[in-house]
């Protein structure tokens, strides 16, 4: 027994094991000897040294996502954006060129348009639903293409097979941000991707209480470059956040399937309501890319539904005010339904003309459908949309 309260006791361990994953907040890990530490750094013996370089909760979470995407060695980072950044800064150098989809996640677009060029990496955005447009954007120095299969918020489907064929033909790395579709609906490595990125914040963690990202490359040398970049730049994830996300992932398949089933039913319901100009959902026959969606996603359409109300901003305000139980919040993938209004949030920087070109009026909403009882959702949307019309 010691009364030195700075002394850290051995963690009590008995012959039984905890069922839930323990949280390991330790920043440093002590080694038994310089020989042992040497072996750890050489990689000939397993072990942790310093949490920015890796820690058990990040590894447990990464391995879970690795298994879903089908490639080992991925790294968990402190946000989805740090995962995108690690893939870019880990693999690109000044003089390289990157082509991105023209409806990428807002900050990914900003990274491409404003930040990479400051480091001498040039970028072009092009329409990923058209492989010819992507092809036209390629240059001899193009090193990477970044796409999302389902665009935000108009839910267009990228021509992933066409883009993958181009990338392979030209020796260009294909990075896919799989946040919207998740490996439950789409496995980018089966469609020619070299790198897969996630905002774990969204569907994988699923409870709107952690910000985390993940990136994995099929080629171990590329993965090492991405991991080294993430460790050097300090994109480390907190053990507590990793623990929450790993716990959230226990129910990921259940949540995903339920949310998707709700999304199908809700899209069909909204389409019948007066005052709705159009509904976008990938498996609906009136979706502009529904054939391609069927090819790459099979029967799956994910949990996002977009729709447009007649009546512009006034109708939009009335709708949101009439459904206070549905969180009006610019996120997605939570267990509960959230509604976002691109014109005042994700796409506010665009001019009204630009938004109109992309099909996003003041009456346009994107819904991240959650796991509620479908009858509750039908009733809420019917009430909200009726209020918008009044
Ligand atoms: C949210 C999101 C990101 C960024 O993730 P954060 O965890 O918020 O940093 C990147 N890509 C897509 C498609 C997203 O939805």
pLDDT at 286: 96
Alpha helices in 106-219 (DSSP H): 106-110, 116-118, 131-137, 160-170, 182-185
Q: Which domains does the chain have, with CATH numbers?
A: 34-249 (3.40.640.10), 252-389 (3.90.1150.10)
Q: How far is the CA of 355 from the centre of ligand 1 (A)?
A: 21
The whole-model pTM stands at: 0.96
For residue 213, the ligand 1 atom closest to its alpha carbon is 7
Distance CA 86, CA 281 (A): 32
Residues with Cβ within 8 Å of 15's Cβ and at least 6 positions away in sequence, in order, are none
Q: Prior bond to 378 cis, omega within 30?
A: no
Ligand 1 residue neighbourhood (C-beta within 6 Å): 79-81, 105, 108, 148, 177, 179-180, 199, 201-202, 211, 213
Q: How far is the CA of 104 from the centre of ligand 1 (A)?
A: 10
The answer to whether 291 and 129 have CB atoms below 8 angstroms apart is no
User: For each of the chain's 390 residues, which pLDDT tens digit applies?
Assistant: 778 888 888 888 889 999 999 999 999 999 999 999 999 989 899 999 999 999 999 999 999 999 999 999 999 999 999 999 999 999 999 999 999 999 999 899 999 999 999 999 999 999 999 999 999 999 999 999 999 999 999 999 999 999 999 999 999 999 999 999 999 999 999 999 999 999 999 999 999 999 999 999 999 999 999 999 999 999 999 999 999 999 999 999 999 999 999 999 999 999 999 999 999 999 999 999 999 999 999 999 999 999 999 999 999 999 999 999 999 999 999 999 999 999 999 888 888 898 888 888 999 999 999 999 999 999 999 999 999 998
How far away, in angstroms, is 235 Cα from ligand 1 center?
15
User: Helices in 25-130 by DSSP H: which ranges?
Assistant: 34-42, 56-69, 80-91, 106-110, 116-118
Helices (H) and strands (E) in the chain, counts: 15, 12
Element (H or E) spanning 315, and its range? helix 312-322
**Atom 6 in ligand 1: which residue has the minimum CA distance?**
80
Structure confidence at residue 358 (pLDDT): 83
CB 78 within 8 A of CB 91: no
Strand 364-368 to strand 304-309: parallel, antiparallel, or no bridges (unpaired)?
antiparallel
**CB of 156 within 8 A of CB of 167?**
no
Sheet holding 213-217, edge to edge: 75-77, 213-217, 195-199, 173-177, 142-148, 97-101, 122-126
**CA–CA distances in Å: residue 28 to residues 33, 54, 56, 329:** 15, 10, 12, 38
User: Nearest 5°: phi and psi at 150?
Assistant: -110, 125
C-alpha torsion sign, points 44, 48, 49, 53: positive
At 359 the pLDDT is: 83
What three-state secondary structure class fits 150?
strand
Q: CB within 8 A of 278, min separation 6: which ones?
A: 286, 307, 308
DSSP state of 155: -
Per-residue model confidence (pLDDT) at position 24: 96
Distance 19 CA to ligand 1 centre (A): 31
Distance CA 370, CA 168 (A): 37
**Cα 183 to Cα 249, 297, 306, 317, distances in angstroms:** 12, 10, 22, 35
Ligand 1 atom nearest the C-alpha of 211 is 7
| Among 195, 181, 166, CA closest to 296 | 181
DSSP class of 124: E
pLDDT of residue 356: 87
Distance 105 CA to ligand 1 centre (A): 7
Q: Which helix (H) or strand (E) holds 314?
A: helix 312-322
Please say whether the beta carbons of 364 and 342 come within 8 A.
yes
């Amino acid at each position: 027994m010691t009364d030195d309260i700075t002394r850290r006791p051995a963690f009590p361990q008995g012959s039984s094991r905890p069922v839930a994953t323990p949280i390991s907040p330790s920043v440093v890990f002590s080694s038994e000897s310089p020989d042992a530490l040497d072996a750890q750094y050489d990689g000939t013996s397993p072990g942790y040294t310093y949490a920015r370089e890796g820690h058990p909760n990040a590894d447990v979470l990464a391995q879970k996502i690795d298994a879903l995407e089908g490639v080992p060695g991925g790294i968990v980072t402190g946000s989805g954006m740090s995962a995108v950044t690690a893939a870019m800064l880990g693999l690109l150098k000044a003089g390289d060129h990157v082509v991105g989809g023209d409806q990428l996640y807002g900050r990914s677009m900003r990274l491409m348009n404003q930040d990479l060029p400051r480091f001498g990496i040039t970028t072009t955005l092009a329409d990923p639903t058209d492989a010819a447009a992507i092809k036209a954007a390629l240059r001899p120095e193009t090193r990477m293409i970044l796409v999302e299969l389902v665009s935000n918020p108009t839910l267009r489907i990228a021509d992933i097979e066409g883009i993958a064929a181009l990338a392979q033909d030209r020796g260009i790395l294909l990075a896919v941000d799989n946040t919207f579709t998740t490996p439950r609906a789409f496995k980018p490595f089966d469609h020619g991707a070299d790198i897969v990125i996630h905002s774990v914040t969204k569907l994988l963690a699923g409870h709107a209480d952690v910000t985390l990202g993940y990136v994995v490359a099929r080629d171990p040398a590329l993965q090492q470059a991405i991991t080294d970049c993430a460790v050097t730049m300090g994109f480390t994830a907190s053990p507590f956040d990793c623990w929450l996300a790993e716990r959230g992932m226990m129910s990921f398949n259940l949540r995903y399937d339920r949310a998707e089933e709700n999304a199908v039913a809700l899209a069909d319901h909204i389409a019948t309501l007066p005052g709705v100009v159009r509904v976008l959902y990938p498996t609906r026959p009136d979706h502009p890319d529904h054939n391609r969606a069927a090819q790459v996603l099979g029967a799956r359409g994910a949990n996002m539904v977009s729709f447009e109300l007649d009546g512009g901003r006034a109708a939009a305000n009335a709708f949101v005010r009439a459904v206070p139980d549905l969180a009006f919040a610019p996120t997605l993938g939570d267990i509960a339904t959230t509604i976002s209004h691109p014109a005042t949030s994700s796409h506010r920087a665009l001019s009204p003309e630009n938004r109109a070109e992309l099909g996003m009026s003041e009456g346009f909403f994107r819904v991240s459908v959650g796991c509620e009882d479908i009858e509750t959702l039908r009733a809420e949307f019917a009430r909200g949309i009726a209020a918008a019309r009044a």
